[in-house]
Structure 1
Amino acid sequence: MIRGLYTAVSGLITQEAKQDVITNNLANANTTGYKADDIAVKQFREVLLQNYDGGNGSKPVRQELGSISLGSRIDETKTYFTQGMLNQTNKDMDFAIDGRGFFSVQRGNNTYYTRDGHFHVNAQGYLVNDSGDRVLGRNSTTGAVEPIIVNNGKIKSDDNNNVFVNDRLAYTFNTADFQDYNALKKVGDNLYEGQAPINGNVHVKQGFIEKSNVNIVNEMVNMMTVMRSFETNQKMVQIIDETLNKAANEVGSVR
Structure 2
Amino acid sequence: MDNALLIGLSRQTAMMREMSVVASNLANVNTTGYKSQSMLFDQYLMPVASEQSPDKTLTFVQDYGQFRNLADGEMRATGNPLDVAINGEGFFKVQTPQGVRYTRDGHFQLDDTGQLVTSQGYPVLSDAGTPITFAIDEGHITIARDGTITTSRDGISASEQQRGKLALVSFPNMQALRNEGDNLYVTDEQEQPAANPRLIQGSLEGSNVKPIVEMTNMMEILRSYQSAQNLVQSADDMRRQAISQIGSPA
State the Cα distance separating 1:67 from its structure 2 match: 5.4
Which residue is 1:171 aligned to? 164
Match status 1:69 vs 2:58: yes
2 CA distance for matches of 1:25 and 1:248? 45
Which residue is 1:108 aligned to? 97
State the Cα distance separating 1:84 from its structure 2 match: 1.0
TM-score by length of 1: 0.86
Report the 3-state secondary structure (helix = DSSP H, G, I; strand = E; otherwise coil) of the residue aligned with 1:146: coil
Matches within 5 A, 1:47-62: 47=47
2 CA distance for matches of 1:109 and 1:16? 31
State the Cα distance separating 1:69 from its structure 2 match: 2.7
Indicate if the aligned counterparts of 1:43 and 1:69 stay in contact, CA closer than 8 A.
no
2 CA distance for matches of 1:49 and 1:108? 49
State the Cα distance separating 1:121 from its structure 2 match: 1.3
Matches within 5 A, 1:98-247: 98-108=87-97, 110-138=99-127, 144-150=128-134, 152=136, 153-154=138-139, 155-166=141-152, 167-194=160-187, 195-200=189-194, 201-247=196-242
Which residue is 2:157 aligned to? none
Structure 1 stretch displaced more, 148-157 or 218-227: 148-157
Q: Which runs of 5+ in 2 are unaligned?
A: 153-159
Q: Which amino acid aligns with 2:110?
A: V
TM-score by length of 2: 0.88
Structure 1 stretch displaced more, 191-200 or 31-40: 191-200
Structure 1 residues 249 and 173, CA gap change in structure 2 (3 angstroms): same
Structure 1 residues 49 and 233, CA gap change in structure 2 (3 angstroms): closer
Report the 3-state secondary structure (helix = DSSP H, G, I; strand = E; otherwise coil) of the residue aligned with 2:81: coil
Structure 1 stretches of 4+ moved >6 Å: none
Identity %: 30
2 CA distance for matches of 1:50 and 1:212? 47
Indicate if the aligned counterparts of 1:98 and 1:204 stay in contact, CA closer than 8 A.
yes
Indicate if the aligned counterparts of 1:104 and 1:135 stay in contact, CA closer than 8 A.
yes
Indicate if the aligned counterparts of 2:134 and 2:163 stay in contact, CA closer than 8 A.
no
1 CA distance for matches of 2:120 and 2:56? 52
State the Cα distance separating 1:34 from its structure 2 match: 0.1
2 CA distance for matches of 1:251 and 1:19? 40
* Count of paired positions: 238
Which residue is 2:155 aligned to? none
Q: Which runs of 5+ in 1 are unaligned?
A: 52-63, 139-143
State the Cα distance separating 1:123 from its structure 2 match: 2.3
User: Of the two, which has the highest radius of gyration?
Assistant: 1
1 CA distance for matches of 2:91 and 2:129? 15
More strand by share: 1
